[in-house]
A and B are shown apart, each in its own frame.
Chain A
């Protein structure tokens, strides 16, 4: 690793600049690291202990890979137990498998999965009950038919999903790659690649596995890779082969002879770490991450490269990084399950009550009724027991069998609507939004916290040279060539410069004029500096220049210089060639003082063609101003310009130069060389030397780069904030960059007080101390409402780095602490409440709660320098302690973990990287679509789902409870109140379509108003539309309706006769009347609840009623009776009963009484306590007209930014540049000279090991 590990054990203050690489680190590893670093630090040259370190831990065999030796990996010692005594090699093949079923396992596995669902199992149990003759009260088909339909629909959906996965797997597994087999390279499918294979990759190939780079067609076996899939960063990284492999493994036959043994770490998910050794021809070579090419990356600018497969398939780092695919459920799902359990409990209670009723009834009446004699000598209590099961069957429809499948259908529909939404379609990249999971839609309407990645999500990861200040003058605003400021400018035309980058846009024509006139020496120097002082590498391709920069900022600066006529053309190890307007010049590079995060600047010392020696330096304003010469001009004006740039959230760099005399340089150069070969702490020594030369600088000016935000980000964030959603930014970027972006996207504002890690830690320690002293003085009191951390009342924001997060949350400190305690002898009692360390898990948890509470008090939270794991941890902390619904949005593999952890993961699609999208639940191309996804689709989905569920429960209660009322008049004999076919078809045909359509299409207000009034989103967050209260309201509504539907016909039927004298009071007519009343009531009730009446709804409601009568008349017809005389027993009932006007009057009255009170109550409620939604809805027409007018008047107005206080907008590359690589000549190694003696010792060791093998 090129970056030093934060020295956290000693000091208590974590380093803000580095990522705390804690992912997957076990305590053991921490210990090892501790030992290793101390070893290396103090005595790196000392020979290793006589026995090789691998053998020091015999329990671990490590990961051994032998090149070109497939049978080796099948050896028994590498097998692991899979199942009982079946063993399998530890080395997985390269095929990936994400599908669940194949042709044979589909049916059993899918059924098994489906019956894992409590509801399905319940219905299976019911089916079995119905087959028992003593118990059966309903024919078996009343349960079987709906169950088969439900299982069938779910199975079909699963099948379609799985087929898509099959296709995807197949596509990836069948990608081609050259593998060295039997002495020559053969094109092979990815899935057939095995560990230990030597593979050959071409330019722009994806890397098929985690591969050790052996050699490439570039000098020094350099290989460029693009890691966009892994981390979303588009700048290239370079990888290097070992010197030995580079020299000896260029040809095919050489590679075929290659038989090294690699011994390295076990597969893990750390993208930033790899350690191993290669044993080849009796020599040992250390391997690190710089030698590894990881699966998922893409090879760039390298024609051919050879590598050795170390990890394949599921063992690759990218796969390991995927984290567990969690099965996500929505809150509503959970709630729904609890409600089903509630209903179930209710069912048992009711059935038990009725069973007792039956026992008594039989004792009192039934046993005396001779006509009821059934020849069975059963006691009344046993009859009660049977009746219990009978009622369980009869009342089973209280648990709606079609609930789950209807919910699935609705969600599928919502997902389709998301996919179809043109306003979330990104035309530029032809990327529509995609709902990848179809089970989470209504959760989108309940989001409380959004966790967003920065690079690629909020920002485009495109840097643009926007403004600059050169010698007192600021440039960048739209102007004409004469310097007259314009409101709206045209981009500069670059045709005069045939080398210009056409994509580069600049508005200020005056700067171009100044440069082209060649009069302003400072301006020329400015661009000359930009074209010389950098670590960019260049590639000539088809006559075009392609710059490869370590950071996009540098690329932007060099490109700017290029367009202004200072074209960086090429570089060698010690020269840089640029074209200055029309003249090509080569400069001799004497030294390159690379950028790093402590120095915050980089310099280059050049010998001009005329012999002058000049140092060019660019860096953060703070560090540059300290080092300026007292004679330097323009300090004040530049400072003013910097402030201005900072306010526009541009990223600034100061540029300066210094002339050095030959003597001065010679003296410095000597020191520099000395420092370069220092063994101990070379970096510090170099820094010190650099410091000596980088002083008395002369300021030229400053650049301002815009880290381009994605379109509409500030507006989206503002809207979401109004909807009560809190947005946290979690990024691997540096603190300054992240803060800068925070301002740029209006997440941070000037009236916010920003709290950093130290501040937070202090507050938390105080809180902990208070708690401890409280615990000392009084007994642990009951839960008090937590006092707020910020009492000053203003807005607060939190910016915290990964290091501080670890510090605050005590991550990964247990072991060290345990060690320390062991050293101290025994656990010391807490005597000092100020001790910041936690004493037990409880305190640790309290600390985490405190932190989450504090963070949630803030308007904005930015976590920077966090690892993927920490991102996920932050998300799960909020999930755990706030019980809130969370959403993560990101675009790179480093966001995968948090995307999977959050309740909803959103991936930014349409870019190179696919990892985030693959593990996301929703994917779209632009951050700004988030507001539409949440405020429109999420809100609608939530409202629809809640409406649907409320109605569904109501519908089934009012349907089922008739049997309950009827039982009082039928001797508790589990006599049903309807025809059994009605029970079978009620949920399938008669009542589901209208409510399903409401679940699919309903809108209380349209999308524009949803966006205009973000507060309409609040009911979802507060879970107001579906909770236990709503559930019981539905329950009581159902009870009420069933009561009416039973007792009105009861009153009407008690004593009467038909128009023609025939008694209509028979059971079958009664059943038809109740059923018809129910159908009318339920369908009209859903009509009342429908807010958005399309012709489809209309059709469905009328259709359902029509279907009911159609089916009823069919089932009661003569024809079907002749076919199945014993199945359809209601022959002729509908026609006989429904020609009685009296029965129609009964039905009308029943329906009226069922509906009118509900309308009345709803009206009164909405009048007295109108919700926000009601108010908007009431004035819908007015608002819609307003919106239309608004749209007509203005398109989008520019987002206003207020004046901001001074802060450093300095921000620069994410990593150090390629300086080492450029400057170190032949051996482009990071630490070339340190190996000398060590290699001897390694050779010794390796011999021993070779003997052992």
Chain B
């Protein structure tokens, strides 16, 4: 017995793995699978496409460009950067109920928030409430790291510095009087952003944490005074600030400004005349940018976008067409081959 073992000491193991005989499924792209598969996928895609297309059609969107490029625009007077604290009013008319909840966005175009060096110009340690980085912001923030007096800028960096600072008020005009539409600014940012990602330093009052620092040069007031109405909405967890800091992927983007879901407007904006009061601060014309206000409601799939529905329809139809083509080709080439 021992001798036998010795004689086959070098014998490889006879297992399915070592002998490369693992049980396996060897699928083939055979006509029986591919052609019906394409038909099925095509039909499914068409179904999704129709659903998307129908849904997106039902979504109402209202866009108002208030950059003030054209002379006719009410905001033309504000487009001159020398004017300070300019306020302009845009009037619009809804001829039917704008179903709620209505979302209020501001939009910028030709604005490169996705520019790499702009994007990295922030201090995440600082934003997560690390006081060391209040005194010494990261070098990524240059040139918005220290001011001329070598005082650290908090929040530092280009993104924070360029925060969007136009403000809006919406009025419904009922019989010549302006009835303010309540705008809800809570929960417009991701929950994770103001609960996890960004934290204020645990110093009370918050103001003391900012001792020895300066506010960004473009900011009219320091970070701890961003929202005078709600003390919890200040510092780095201010929702407007968070929305701005979450940079857009593409040069044309919208950012959520407010929600309209309260009081009389919980069901949406009734038909009628409205006036939008804009505090025009943010310069965009120097780089050929545009500013917009967008009112939109949403569906299960989000906002209005016809692209996806159409794309699904096109691809679905192509699948069906291709399955027919494949069937023809298969019928033509298959039979002589089998012989």
Contact = CB atoms under 8 A, between A and B. Distances in A.
Interface of A: 133, 137, 365-366, 368-376, 390, 417, 419-422, 425, 427, 430-432, 940, 969-971, 973-976, 1001, 1003, 1006-1007, 1048, 1050-1071, 1088, 1091-1096, 1118, 1121-1122, 1125-1126, 1129, 1131-1132, 1135-1136, 1140-1142, 1145-1146, 1148-1149, 1152-1153, 1156, 1159-1160, 1162-1164, 1166-1168, 1170, 1175, 1177-1178, 1180
30 contacts: A365-B110, A365-B112, A369-B111, A372-B118, A422-B18, A969-B251, A970-B114, A970-B251, A971-B251, A973-B115, A975-B114, A975-B116, A1051-B307, A1054-B252, A1061-B298, A1063-B255, A1067-B249, A1070-B250, A1091-B27, A1093-B27, A1094-B22, A1094-B24, A1096-B22, A1125-B128, A1140-B302, A1148-B48, A1160-B34, A1164-B325, A1167-B334, A1168-B333
B256 interface: yes
Contacts of A420: 12-13, 18-19
A835 B185 CA distance: 102
B202 interface: no
Interface string B184-205: 0000111111001100000000
Interface of B: 7-14, 18-31, 34, 38, 41, 45, 48, 52, 101, 103, 105, 110-119, 121, 123-125, 127-128, 130, 138-139, 142-143, 158, 161-162, 188-193, 196-197, 246-256, 259, 283, 286-288, 296, 298-305, 307-308, 311-312, 315, 319, 322, 325-326, 329-330, 333-334, 337
Given A374-B142, A1065-B250, A1067-B114, A1121 B307 contact: no
B249 A1066 contact: yes
A299 B19 CA distance: 41
Contact of A1166 (B19, B20, B29): B29
Contacts of A137: 116
B250 A1053 contact: yes
Contact of A427 (B11, B13, B103, B115): B11
**Which of A425, A1122, A1145, A1170: most chain B Cβ within 10 A?**
A1145
B38 A1149 contact: no
Given A1071-B249, A1093-B27, 18 more contacts: A137-B116, A369-B287, A375-B143, A390-B116, A430-B9, A973-B117, A973-B118, A1055-B305, A1056-B305, A1060-B298, A1063-B256, A1070-B250, A1092-B26, A1094-B24, A1141-B300, A1145-B312, A1149-B312, A1167-B31
A1056 B303 contact: yes
B304 to A, nearest CB: 7
Nearest to B21: A1006
B300 A1160 contact: no
A1065 B255 CA distance: 9
Given A372-B118, A1053-B249, A1170 B337 contact: yes
Nearest to B334: A1167
Given A427-B11, A1051-B307, A374 B249 contact: no
Given A1057-B105, A1096-B22, A371 B162 contact: yes
B256 A1167 contact: no
A1136 B7 CA distance: 64
A1064 B302 contact: yes
A1059 B298 contact: yes
Given A1136-B192, A1142-B301, A1057 B246 contact: no
Given A374-B142, A1063-B253, A1052 B7 contact: no
**Which of B41, B101, B123, B307: most chain A Cβ within 10 A?**
B307
A1059 B301 contact: yes
Contacts of A1006: 21
A422 B334 CA distance: 39
B10 A432 contact: yes
B125 A1125 contact: yes
Nearest to B128: A1125
B43 to A, nearest CB: 13
B115 A1126 contact: no
A825 to B, nearest CB: 68
Contacts of B248: 1063, 1065-1067
B196 A1065 contact: no
Given A371-B158, A973-B115, A1160-B38, A427 B8 contact: yes
Given A373-B158, A1059-B302, A1132-B193, A1180 B26 contact: yes
Contacts of A417: 18, 20
Contacts, number: 282
A1166 B30 CA distance: 10
B110 A1153 contact: no
A1057 B143 contact: no
Nearest to A1064: B302
Given A368-B288, A973-B117, A1149 B11 contact: no
Contact of B305 (A371, A976, A1054, A1131): A1054
Given A1050-B250, A1059-B298, A1093-B24, A374 B158 contact: yes
Nearest to A1175: B337
B165 to A, nearest CB: 12
A1061 B30 CA distance: 45
A136 to B, nearest CB: 10
B145 to A, nearest CB: 9
Contacts of B13: 420
A1126 B26 contact: no
Contacts of A1132: 190-193, 196-197
A1066 B250 CA distance: 8
Given A421-B19, A969-B251, A1125-B124, A1063 B305 contact: no
B38 A1057 contact: no
B115 A1057 contact: no
B218 to A, nearest CB: 9
Contacts of B330: 1167
Contacts of B113: 1067
Contacts of B101: 1061
Contact of A1055 (B19, B114, B303): B303
Contact of A969 (B38, B114, B118, B337): B114
**Which of A376, A420, A1088: most chain B Cβ within 10 A?**
A420
A1096 B143 CA distance: 53
A425 B298 CA distance: 70
A373 B143 contact: yes
Contact of B26 (A974, A1050, A1069, A1093): A1093
A1162 B250 contact: no
Contacts of B337: 1170, 1175
A27 B231 CA distance: 100
A970 B116 contact: yes
A1057 to B, nearest CB: 4
**Which of A1055, A1096, A1126: most chain B Cβ within 10 A?**
A1055
**Which of B139, B301, B302: most chain A Cβ within 10 A?**
B302
A414 to B, nearest CB: 10
The 8 residue pairs across chains A and B that have the minimum distance between CB atoms: A1132-B192, A375-B143, A1057-B303, A1070-B249, A371-B162, A420-B18, A973-B116, A1051-B307
B302 A1057 contact: yes
B142 A375 contact: yes
A463 B288 CA distance: 96
Contacts of B189: 1062
Contact of B119 (A1061, A1067, A1166): A1067
Contacts of A1060: 298
Given A425-B12, A430-B7, A1136-B190, A1159 B34 contact: yes
B256 A1052 contact: no
A1180 B27 CA distance: 11
B161 to A, nearest CB: 8
A1001 B20 contact: yes
A368 B326 CA distance: 54
Contact of A1065 (B158, B161, B249, B307): B249
A1148 B45 CA distance: 10
B288 A374 contact: no
A1156 B8 CA distance: 52
